[in-house]
């Protein structure tokens, strides 16, 4: 049997946040259908598009975060085609001088790092939004002209897992930069997937099949896996892959033929004559570099290097921007970063997962959170008590600090602990026998003391006193 290597290239469209549209003064806002549009967006004769500087700035941030080469000059081109959602009959995009080229993103799949190379990222405008009903369609022009950034990878992705890792890393770039909410469920981020297969010894890539406009990452993964299987079956049976566009059917988990794809559709690209070339000065680019927000990998490095958090935990914290922001907030109130991380990763995430909740559902203030962590760090309450406090607070929706007061603090008084240990000795004479016969019973007795006190004793002190008491026997 031939072993085929999947080859995948992704084209990701992301709507950028901005006050106005990419080339007009209409608001970039969903709002009530057909209320946010201008003559520019719907292509009246004689219109003059004006480039949105904010959209350029945000696109440049992304290009820089993607380690792209930035051109000296920006220009815009017309991509001509007809479709009802494109009232002008052409889309203004970037063909000749995209805002970023030859970039890369690092991903990590099962502990293996890989560089995903970026062909280019270019700024264009979104089309109108269409709703196809039984025998008619509705069109909403609010989306027409919304700034859209398209980022295209090289065909260098080799599995659906890598594809998802790349998509998540890219989405986090958008989120960390704050240029888009990148919500796939709202169509703010949409993916075109290209898949082909090749054998190890082949020097050329196989024929690719394209699946357009998939708007959930889970579906991207499924579509890739299903398409790899379909192509493998065809090749194994001695068939050939046709270059075509296919649609992924989420219900039946298969792809359907949509249309054949000729090598390059002739869009008759030409320079948009109403937009002059824009020179990107070093000053302008530097002013953006200066205000670039911290990215996921930068936070991850800070967490491991400065806070001593493990790479795995730092990865977990930074993968979710909301979680990472919350963590930053908590430690800004003085809590130990490492102890905070231990409670979040070692307890809170599990709790949320078990209760089908996510971090946005939590309304514990960062300041209260920090106070509890400080009490733990100072030895006033144990790790177990912290977990109990959080559980009760979250389960019963009671303020965290109130729960903490009612649960009481840790027992760290040496004599009190000595008394408890001796009680445990009296209640468990068999263990004492074992000890006298040379058996190691420390762990077992610690467990009994913990059980007796509901985990309230300070473990360090208890251990010490226990050793003293055992020696006395
Ligand atoms: P188009 O604009 O016609 O879609 P591009 O050359 O811009 O074509 O490529 C689009 C995407 O297809 C890119 O992400 C690229 O990596 C990917 N791609 C190109 N050739 C292949 C191939 N043989 N197999 C898989 N993906 C491919
Ligand atoms: Mg394409």
Please report the DSSP string for 130-141 in residue order.
EEE-SS-EEEEG
Of all protein residues, whose CA lies closest to atom 7 belonging to ligand 1? 152
> DSSP 3-state assignment of 278?
strand
**Counting ligands in written order, which one lies closest to the CA of residue 196?**
1
Q: What does R_g of the chain's alpha carbons equal in angstroms?
A: 30
Of all protein residues, whose CA lies closest to atom 14 belonging to ligand 1? 9
Q: How buried is residue 228: exposed, middle or buried, by Cβ count under 10 Å (0-12/13-18/19+)?
A: buried
Of all protein residues, whose CA lies closest to atom 5 belonging to ligand 1? 152
Q: Which atom of ligand 1 is nearest the CA belonging to 264? A: 3
Which protein residues touch ligand 1 with a CB less than 6 Å away?
7-11, 152-155, 194-196, 205-206, 208
> DSSP 3-state assignment of 438?
coil
- Cα 417 from Cα 420, distance rounded (Å): 5
For residue 404, what are the contacts with CB-CB under 8 A and spacing of at least 6?
A: 371, 372, 375, 381, 389
> DSSP 3-state assignment of 179?
coil
CA of 39 to the centre of ligand 1 (A): 34
Q: Which two tokens stand for residue 208?
A: 């690719």
Please report, in tens digits, the pLDDT of each residue of the chain (473 residues total): 568 999 999 999 999 999 999 999 999 998 999 999 999 998 899 999 999 999 999 999 999 999 999 999 999 999 999 999 999 999 999 998 999 999 999 999 998 999 999 999 999 999 999 999 999 999 999 999 999 999 999 999 999 999 999 999 999 999 999 999 999 999 999 999 999 999 989 999 999 999 999 989 999 999 999 999 999 999 999 999 999 999 999 999 999 988 876 556 689 999 999 999 999 999 999 999 999 999 999 999 999 999 999 999 999 999 999 999 999 999 999 999 999 999 999 999 999 999 999 999 999 999 999 999 999 998 888 888 899 999 999 999 999 999 988 776 678 778 888 989 999 999 998 988 999 898 999 999 999 998 888 778 888 889 999 999 999 88
Q: Which atom of ligand 1 is nearest the CA belonging to 156? A: 16
Q: Which atom of ligand 1 is nearest the CA belonging to 196? A: 24
- Cα 263 from Cα 214, distance rounded (Å): 22
Mutate which of 152, 191, 243 to test ligand 1's pocket (most atoms within 8 Å of Cβ)? 152
Q: How buried is residue 434: exposed, middle or buried, by Cβ count under 10 Å (0-12/13-18/19+)?
A: middle
Helix (H) or strand (E) holding 120: strand 112-125
Q: By the 8 A CB rule, do 390 and 347 touch?
A: yes
CA of 153 to the centre of ligand 1 (A): 8
pTM for this predicted structure? 0.87
CA of 119 to the centre of ligand 1 (A): 10
Q: Where do the domains of the chain lie, and which CATH numbers do they carry?
A: 4-283 (no CATH), 294-407 (no CATH), 414-472 (1.10.10.410)
Give the closest residue to 123 by CA, choosing from 287, 261, 280.
280
Per DSSP, the residues of 48-77 read -----HHHHHHHHHHHHHTT-B--SEE--E
Give the closest residue to 184 by CA, choosing from 171, 166, 169.
171
For residue 107, what are the contacts with CB-CB under 8 A and spacing of at least 6?
A: 113, 114, 116, 162, 165, 166, 169
């Amino acid at each position: 049997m031939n072993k085929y290597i999947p080859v995948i290239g992704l084209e990701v469209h992301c709507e950028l946040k901005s006050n106005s549209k990419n080339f007009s003064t209409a608001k970039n806002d969903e709002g009530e259908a057909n209320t946010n549009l201008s003559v520019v967006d719907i292509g009246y004769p004689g219109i003059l598009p004006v480039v949105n500087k904010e959209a350029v700035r945000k696109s440049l941030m992304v290009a820089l975060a993607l380690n792209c080469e930035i051109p000296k000059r920006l220009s815009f081109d017309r991509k001509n085609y007809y479709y009802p959602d494109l009232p002008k009959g052409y889309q203004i995009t970037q063909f000749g001088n995209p805002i970023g080229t030859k970039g890369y993103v690092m991903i990590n799949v099962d502990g293996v790092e890989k560089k995903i190379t970026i062909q280019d990222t270019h700024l264009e405008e979104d089309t109108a939004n269409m709703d196809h009903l039984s025998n008619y369609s509705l069109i909403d022009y609010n989306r027409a002209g919304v700034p859209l950034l398209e980022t295209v990878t090289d065909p260098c992705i080799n599995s659906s897992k890598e594809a998802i890792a790349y998509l998540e890393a890219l989405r986090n770039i958008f989120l960390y930069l704050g240029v888009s909410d990148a919500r796939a469920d709202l169509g703010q981020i949409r993916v075109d997937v290209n898949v082909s297969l090749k054998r190890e010894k082949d020097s050329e890539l196989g024929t690719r099949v394209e699946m357009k406009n998939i708007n959930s990452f889970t579906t991207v993964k499924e579509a890739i896996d299903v398409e790899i299987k379909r192509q493998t079956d065809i090749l194994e049976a001695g068939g050939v892959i046709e270059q075509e566009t296919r649609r992924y059917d989420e219900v039946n988990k298969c792809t359907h033929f949509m249309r054949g794809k000729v090598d390059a559709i002739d869009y008759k690209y030409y320079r948009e004559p109403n937009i002059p070339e824009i020179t990107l000065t070093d000053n302008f680019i530097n002013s953006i570099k200066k205000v670039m927000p911290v990215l996921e990998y930068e936070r991850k490095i800070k967490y491991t290097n400065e806070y001593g958090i493990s790479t795995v935990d730092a990865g977990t914290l930074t993968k979710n921007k909301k979680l990472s922001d919350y963590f930053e907030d908590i430690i800004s109130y003085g809590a130990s970063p490492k102890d905070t991380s231990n409670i979040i990763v070692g307890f809170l995430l599990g709790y949320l997962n078990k209760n089908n909740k996510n971090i946005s559902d939590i309304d514990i203030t960062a300041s209260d959170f920090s106070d509890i962590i400080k009490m733990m760090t100072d030895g006033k309450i144990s790790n177990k008590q912290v977990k109990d406090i959080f559980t009760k607070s979250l389960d019963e929706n009671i303020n965290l600090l109130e729960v903490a007061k009612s649960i009481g603090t840790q027992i760290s008084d040496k004599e009190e602990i000595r008394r408890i240990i001796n009680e445990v000795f009296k209640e468990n004479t068999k263990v004492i026998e074992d000890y006298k016969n040379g058996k190691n019973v420390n762990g077992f007795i610690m467990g009994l003391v913990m059980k007796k006190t509901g985990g309230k004793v300070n473990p360090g002190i208890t251990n010490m006193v226990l050793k003293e008491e055992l020696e006395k026997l």
